[in-house]
Structure 1
Amino acid sequence: MRYENYINGQWIEPSLGGYVDNLNPHNQKALDQFPASTPEDINLATAAAKEAFTTWSKLSYQQRGEYLLKAADFLSEKVEDIARDLTSEEGKTLPEAIGETNRAIRVLHYYSGEATQSVGDIIPSVNPKTMIYTKRVPIGPVGLITPWNFPIAIPAWKIAPALVYGNTVVIKPSEFTPKSAYHLIDALHQAGVPAGVVNCVFGVGGDIGAELVDSPDIKAISFTGSNKIGNVIKQRATILGKSVQLEMGGKNPLIVLNDANIDKAVAFSIQDGFMSTGQKCTAASRLIVEAGIYDEFCRRLLDQTNSLKVGNPLDEGTYMGPVVSARQYESVLTMIEQGKKEARLLAGGNEINTPDLKEGFYVQPTVFEVDSQSVEIARKEIFGPVVMLLKVNSFDEAVELANDTSYGLSAAIFTNNLTLSQRFVDEVEAGMVHVNSGTVGTEFQAPFGGMKSSSDGPREQGKTSIDFYTKMKTVYMD
């Protein structure tokens, strides 16, 4: 089936009439066709967003929130169908895709609720006849560039706050997972969102992303993706005086101390390292284990890793599906080969060429043991089903290793020692910290973001999203 761009309230063909196949990573078969858009399509979308902003921003918060509720209802009616499409184009298992679709629905509900929350403060004045108060105003049309690994949840948690706080939107979803974003945009369309308020342009990022960033009609850019592209966006947008919100990479540590519950620590290590085929910026890729339990932890980890079922993500019982694309497949395999040269391979480490999977982008769940974090696989984000084990002799050494990275997104520790867990919270250089749970778990009502090169700009999700999608006015009323 052929799909179109969504611009100014209508589904329209790309300006040059080009389309590309949307491929299934399980077998490389074409699923649908989506536009191969050009800068002209971006220009049409940004003009529509600019035109719609004046009217949309004058609606009440509650009126804008009602559209989110209606869109959530439309998504709720076809969760299973959306999830199957998500699995077919991205490769995560069907239960994970169902969970992600439901998360998108809950995000819409959450931000519709934010429409009834306070958006300002009253501040005492030295003059008894003066009232000082603050209010929030939207920033204008915003550009959203979203990745393939959470292809409906991330667009939802960017679009929902943007809209409820009075902005209009142009979104450029990943070219690898356009159908998932289509479902969200279609739900907003079915909900009756006014023309021009939401616009979606499909296509390759390099072709149209720069046009979106450079457009004078776009006042801010929210991007989730690689550090390489994020840093380019930051440079371009900052020169143009635009606000940026960047969520990028991670090389997240999971520390296991001698007194930890080993079963729990191993379970979270498996889950955080290999679910979604390791394609999460919050994935636990560095397992830092204290020497007293290292051998036992390693034995249990390898036993469970070797028992994981890799296969068609639509099949019941599959734990891990394929990586998303040929490009990602080659990248992961290249890093694994590099790891074989500089570390000890303990499990996996190969592509999978069984008759039923040979056409897909399948990689074994892989475990390396490293003696030093100077090796490339311990420093570079792989974004695939690859974890590495490091042995340490103390809590202090573990934290030192955890912080020895350019990233600072998420970190976890497993211990029953309250003093050390609190020290970890204080000392680890990460934007999100977990005690006795894995690095992956995040909730949409809480701020999401990291430190160092993992994030830039205001946090996403929760109440803090208002900081990016609005400006503050201070009013003196006599």
Structure 2
Amino acid sequence: MLKVDSLVNLNELKLYINGEWKDAQSGEKFKVTNPSNGEVVAQVPKGGRIETREAIEAAGEAFKSWSKLTAAERGKFLLKICDLMHEYKDKLAEIMSMEMGKPFTEAQGEVFFAASYLEWFAEEGRRIYGETIPASAPDKRLAVIRQPIGVVAAITPWNFPLAMMTRKIGPAMAAGCTGIIKPAKQSPISALAFSKLVEMAGVPNGVVNVVTGDTGQISDEIFENRIVKKISFTGSTEVGKILVSKSAPQLKRLSLELGGHAPFIVFEDADLEEAAAGAVASKFRNTGQTCVCANRIYVQRSVMERFTALFVEKTKALKVGNSLDPCSEVGPLVSQDGIEKVEEHVQDAIAKGAQLLCGGKRLEGELSQGLFYEPTILGDVTNDMRITNEETFGPVAPIIPFDTEEEVIQFANDTIYGLAAYLYTQNASRLVRVSEALEFGIIGLNDAIPTVAQAPFGGIKESGMGREGGHQGIKDYLEEKYLSMKIQIH
């Protein structure tokens, strides 16, 4: 095992507030457990309202000077953190693997992915342009300037603990904002390790603060404190709706990246080898615990048998194992609730007539102490099954046949979600037709992993609002101010 102690001491984890490492005032802590074996990884300070208020006030004070720096000056700090993430990639990956079960090699990839957002927004901050507007009178000059919104809060999920954090705090810092990070209870150590890199990079005190602990108390203070001007949240649609209500009293600006139920469509003219490999990559990445993973695999009936054989073969070849094993491709689920939901979806489908093509049970033997579930494929799946309507968030792939293009578009769009969709075909006209007809914010065309820092990420319908990444990702951290100036004409 690698040693993370040179980055963070797992026996002495503390909150990061105003450039200082602090315990929760109550002295309380909560346990973080390794889902691969059930062992306690660390005990983390259980902060609440008091610590959150202190962090917000520190961010408010830091905003006065941070917002006055040039975009180039702020960008240098982001690039320094980016470099440190590369330097400490193995330690950061080990932390993720231990706290939430991401396979180590995949976790290394997330470190680079997370760092790419800092690199992108370090440069994008230089492109916060204003505009001039033709005036309707000769003695007027009209302009629009864009300024940082102020103190922001980033509420991040456990499934991509580093990437979702940099995708929020990166554009915030680049825009001139300061803020507080509230990580998920399953993966708080990654956020504390990131704040150590912030400290090492010399970022001024108060610009970035990390508070772990009581979700309710921290959230209440964030939404009620008038210093906080904008909140970015990644999580479930159910919680997102609650946060919309909580933001109403002060009309706080919200960015919400919520749940998904992605269709993965394979047409009869697709490269089936490529499509099957793409389905495996999309479905079983992070053990199926991604909001953009393939949830419903629609295959045109004429190629159903050939595609299924390839998909089953590739799925059976996946290596399931302890997340710290560099050879593991599929790790454990993050929680007992998560694995129970997977079991419920599989049992419901089989009870309603689905065929188990591979997998279908928890792992036994040496991995029985962890939350491992076999990569599973279900055939003969119908639209009345829970798995075709609810987000499974686990390593289970349902295959559903279709006959026509019009039919599969109707199937795909029949959901409250609208985050990601995928389609495989060699017909260029069909690529255009179907991608324009699908009601999703992100569409992979013969591409199972479309997310990159330079492109916008976000959904439509009940999958959220706002965009992260791309040049769009910095806009939610800016206010537009219109200037109308009357001058003397000689």
TM-score range, shorter chain: over 0.9
For residue 223 of structure 2, the aligned residue among 213, 216, 222 is: 213
Matched, 1:462 2:470: yes
Does the CA contact (< 8 Å) of 1:174 and 1:204 recur in 2? Answer: no
Partners of 1:235 and 1:263 lie apart in 2 by: 46
For residue 441 of structure 1, the aligned residue among 447, 450, 469 is: 450
Q: Which 4+ stretches in 1 moved above 4 angstroms?
A: none
Q: Could you say what secondary structure the match of 1:407 adopts?
A: coil
Q: TM-score, normalised by structure 1?
A: 0.96
Q: Which residue of 2 aligns with 1:345?
A: 356
Q: Could you say what secondary structure the match of 1:144 adopts?
A: strand
Q: Which residue of 2 aligns with 1:175?
A: 185
| One-letter code aligned to 1:346 | L
Once the two structures are TM-superposed, the CA of residue 207 in structure 1 deviates from its matched residue by: 4.1
Does the CA contact (< 8 Å) of 1:156 and 1:184 recur in 2? Answer: no
Once the two structures are TM-superposed, the CA of residue 182 in structure 1 deviates from its matched residue by: 1.5
1:220-259 map, 5 Å: 220-259=230-269
For residue 264 of structure 1, the aligned residue among 265, 274, 280 is: 274
Q: Could you say what secondary structure the match of 1:103 adopts?
A: helix
Cα deviations by residue, 1:144-198 (Å, 9 ceiling, x for unpaired) = 1000011111101100111111111111001111121122111111112222111
For residue 93 of structure 1, the aligned residue among 103, 114, 117 is: 103
Once the two structures are TM-superposed, the CA of residue 303 in structure 1 deviates from its matched residue by: 1.9
Partners of 1:183 and 1:106 lie apart in 2 by: 17
| One-letter code aligned to 2:65 | T
Q: Which residue of 2 aligns with 1:299?
A: 309
For residue 421 of structure 2, the aligned residue among 389, 403, 411 is: 411
Q: TM-score, normalised by structure 2?
A: 0.94
Change in Cα spacing, 1:118 to 1:241, as seen in structure 2 (3 Å) is: closer
Q: Which residue of 2 aligns with 1:27?
A: 37
Change in Cα spacing, 1:169 to 1:87, as seen in structure 2 (3 Å) is: same
| One-letter code aligned to 2:119 | H
Cα deviations by residue, 1:394-431 (Å, 9 ceiling, x for unpaired) = 11111111101111111111111111111012100000
- State the aligned residue count: 475
For residue 18 of structure 1, the aligned residue among 2, 23, 28 is: 28
Once the two structures are TM-superposed, the CA of residue 299 in structure 1 deviates from its matched residue by: 1.5
Query: Percent sequence identity over matched residues?
Result: 36
Structure 1 stretch displaced more, 332-341 or 26-35: 332-341
Q: Which residue of 1 aligns with 2:330?
A: 320
Partners of 1:27 and 1:441 lie apart in 2 by: 32
Structure 1 stretch displaced more, 382-391 or 190-199: 190-199
Q: Which residue of 2 aligns with 1:151?
A: 161
Matched, 1:203 2:213: yes
Once the two structures are TM-superposed, the CA of residue 219 in structure 1 deviates from its matched residue by: 1.2
Once the two structures are TM-superposed, the CA of residue 128 in structure 1 deviates from its matched residue by: 4.5
Q: Which residue of 2 aligns with 1:431?
A: 441
For residue 38 of structure 1, the aligned residue among 29, 39, 48 is: 48
For residue 130 of structure 2, the aligned residue among 120, 123, 137 is: 120
Once the two structures are TM-superposed, the CA of residue 370 in structure 1 deviates from its matched residue by: 4.3
Cα deviations by residue, 1:103-128 (Å, 9 ceiling, x for unpaired) = 22221111111232242122223335
Partners of 1:206 and 1:331 lie apart in 2 by: 24
Q: Could you say what secondary structure the match of 2:30 adopts?
A: strand
Matched, 1:308 2:318: yes
Does the CA contact (< 8 Å) of 2:255 and 2:467 recur in 1? Answer: yes
Cα deviations by residue, 1:225-256 (Å, 9 ceiling, x for unpaired) = 11111111111112321011110111101111
Matched, 1:161 2:154: no
1:391-410 map, 5 Å: 391-410=401-420
Partners of 1:203 and 1:335 lie apart in 2 by: 31
| One-letter code aligned to 1:468 | D
Q: Could you say what secondary structure the match of 1:328 adopts?
A: helix
1:55-66 map, 5 Å: 55-66=65-76
Partners of 1:163 and 1:118 lie apart in 2 by: 13
Q: Which residue of 1 aligns with 2:300?
A: 290
Does the CA contact (< 8 Å) of 1:278 and 1:384 recur in 2? Answer: yes
Q: Which residue of 2 aligns with 1:102?
A: 112
Unaligned runs of 5+ in 1: none
Partners of 1:72 and 1:119 lie apart in 2 by: 24
Matched, 1:476 2:484: yes
Does the CA contact (< 8 Å) of 1:140 and 1:168 recur in 2? Answer: yes
Once the two structures are TM-superposed, the CA of residue 338 in structure 1 deviates from its matched residue by: 2.4
Partners of 2:81 and 2:57 lie apart in 1 by: 24
Partners of 2:417 and 2:196 lie apart in 1 by: 36
Matched, 1:276 2:315: no
Q: Which residue of 2 aligns with 1:332?
A: 342
Q: Which residue of 1 aligns with 2:12?
A: 2
Partners of 1:294 and 1:332 lie apart in 2 by: 24
Does the CA contact (< 8 Å) of 2:125 and 2:171 recur in 1? Answer: no
Partners of 1:390 and 1:442 lie apart in 2 by: 25
Does the CA contact (< 8 Å) of 1:311 and 1:320 recur in 2? Answer: yes
Once the two structures are TM-superposed, the CA of residue 347 in structure 1 deviates from its matched residue by: 1.9
Partners of 2:22 and 2:398 lie apart in 1 by: 47
Does the CA contact (< 8 Å) of 1:322 and 1:363 recur in 2? Answer: yes
Once the two structures are TM-superposed, the CA of residue 352 in structure 1 deviates from its matched residue by: 0.8
Does the CA contact (< 8 Å) of 1:313 and 1:321 recur in 2? Answer: yes
